[in-house]
Structure 1
Amino acid sequence: MSGGADGVYEFGDGVPIEPIEAGSTVLVAGPALSRAEDLVRSMVADGTETGDGMLFVSTNQSCETLLDSCRRLHPSFDTDRAGVIDCTGQDLAESQFDLRVRSISTQSDLTGIGMRFSALYESLYADAADGRVRTGLVSLSSLSMYVDMRALFRFVQTLSGRIDSAGGLGLFSIDPTTHDTKTVNTISQVADGRIEVREPEDGDADGELRVRGLRGQPDGWQPFTLP
């Protein structure tokens, strides 16, 4: 894995995805058992190898659980270059974490999430190599239980716009089995592409993925393995 100095973001050897252009937001769609959410966490945590900032918006894992999962995926995971917006509503013991952890009491507070996102992104951008920041939002399906689709669409549009203008990378997970097709397609309009994830046919793989809407990617379903 290289640092991606040519304006792209690269990923670990087990993920068969070609480099994605800076400024892109990608929807990662897969059911609960497909490891789609783990794929998002891993692709963001890959930034620890390239000097990138890593920002997570976590709606279904506490900050502590999220960071533990990142360390399992990447034992060298650098918390000094990571930020977490914990939307689970759980109280945080501030002394356990660095200053780049913020909590939200309710997932319906999209304004609060957006404000904290902007502040943490700016901080990570200032410290990251070449201002490169990877963002993982897990998950949009959880947020959709608290807000209507119009508000969620505007929220995703705002975040993807900021990521685009800063030359970052956004990976937003969604469980398509919990939404109708129209909802998933509506959210997809905000993204530059989509990674579809399913359970593997090959028992040696962690899952299978295929990429839609992004140039230069492999055709068809590809097995992937996570660290």
Structure 2
Amino acid sequence: MSLQGDTVYEFERLPLEPVATGTNLLVTGPTLGGTRELLLRLLLGDDAVLVITADTSARETLADYERVGGEGPSERVRVVDCSQDDDADLGEFVSAVGSPGDLTGIGIEYAGQYESVYARGYDTARTGIYTLTPLLVYNDDVRPVFRFVNTVTSRIRTADGLGVCAIDPDAHEDRVLGSIAQSFDGRVEVRDTDDGVEIRVRGLPDQPREWTAVPALR
């Protein structure tokens, strides 16, 4: 249990320096590539973990999180599932929302899960959203999605959490990406190469600015 009030979030086995509490990162890269695995690896640690999943079911998300070294649903690991799959049997640690377009419902379930982990004594939490793309697809206007993202990132900042949200930049116009990016402190760009996944960071000091290889899990 993380009760010591850490001042930074560290990223084990990733070529990234620790970041201050309250930091929000936008992870940009292709949906069918290393972006998903990177986001899940950024959530690894002793902190509470909350995942909003829109592309895949809670069951698949939790399986992928365990594959990268995390643990299954518990008082520390929670999921808000808006992928329209039925995962009701996973219990209280998974909240279902009917559609990626129901931003109010997602926000309510997320806030409830956040409050639950803090009530159990976890004072640091990592939040992941994979991905923002379905939320944008289900809403014709970027403005409600921007307000939703701004609300989530503001909560994370106020609570000294860590936010990691993924988006496929090729799936959206530059103006949409630029609008969403305003809510984040830094951007982690992801690309797939013949030798594996590489990343570089924009907007944060002391982070790799050139393309840097990400060590494989095995």
Same fold (TM over 0.5): yes
Which residue identity is paired with 2:186? G
Residue of structure 1 equivalent to 2:98:
105
Alignment partner, residue 89 of structure 1:
84
Contact 1:211–1:218, Cα closer than 8 Å, also in 2: yes
Does 2:2 align with 1:7?
A: no
> Which shifted more, 29-38 or 56-65?
29-38
| Unpaired runs of at least 5, structure 2 | none
Q: TM-score, normalised by structure 1?
A: 0.89
8 Å contact 1:135–1:168 — kept in the other structure? yes
Check conservation: 1:24, 1:170, Cα contact below 8 A: yes
RMSD between aligned residues: 1.8
Q: Separation in 2 of the partners of 1:133 and 1:25?
A: 12
| 1:225 CA drift (Å) | 2.7
Aligned pair count reads: 214
Q: Distance in 2 between matches of 1:122 and 1:222?
A: 36
In the alignment, structure 1 residue 144 sits paired with structure 2 residue 139: no
Which residue does 2:16 correspond to in 1?
A: 17
TM-score (norm 2): 0.92
- Which residue in the other structure is 1:53 paired with? 48
SS at match of 1:77: coil
Counterpart residue type for residue 149 of structure 1 = V
Match of 1:196 among 178, 182, 189: 189
What is the rounded CA distance, in whole Å, between the counterparts of 2:4 and 2:25 in structure 1?
18
Q: Which one is further off, 20-29 or 3-12? A: 3-12
More deviation in 29-38 or 150-159?
A: 29-38
Deviations 1:63-121 (A, max 9, x none): 111111111111x5253210000101122232xx2412100111111000000110101
1:135 and 2:134 matched: no
Of the three residues 202, 211, 218, the one matched with 1:221 is 211
1:224 Cα shift?
0.4
- Mapped partners of 1:106, 1:78: distance in 2: 23
* Structure 1 residues not aligned, in runs of 5+: none
Identity rate of aligned residues, in percent? 37
